[in-house]
Amino acid sequence: DVVMTQSPLSLPVTLGQPASISCRSSQSLVHSDGNTYLNWFQQRPGQSPRRLIYKVSNRDSGVPDRFSGSGSGTDFTLKISRVEAEDVGVYYCMQGTHWPQWTFGQGTKVEIK
């Protein structure tokens, strides 16, 4: 099974400052079709998760452009250019390449300092 490892697990950030979350996979996430299916989810306190980014760097509808995703192979990053109060929550990476076994990272908790 593919193991997804996120770091850090806790990320205190000052409002208006950038934040960066790393996600590494135990196997390459490059699919045989040439695409890389690494997705990011946000879970605000007390809410259901929602997808922010799919296929490494594509933002979902309604997701602010301060969120960006990048990476390739086994190393990926979610960046928030300027953290706002509404960004507090837990962020998960999830691989879809090695379908039909989806796996999530452990989650990274973003909080305001």
Residue ranges binding another protein (CB under 8 A):
1, 31, 35, 37, 39, 41, 43, 48-51, 54-55, 60, 90, 92, 94, 96-97, 99-107
- Write out the H or E segment, with its range, that includes residue 95: strand 89-95
Please, which residues have CB within 8 angstroms of residue 103's CB and are 6 or more apart in sequence?
A: 1, 2, 3, 4, 94, 95
CB count, 10 Å around CB of 87? 20
Minimum distance from residue 75 beta carbon to another protein (Å): 19
- Give me the least distance between CB of 106 and another protein, in Å please: 5
Residue nearer to another protein on the CB measure, 19 or 94: 94
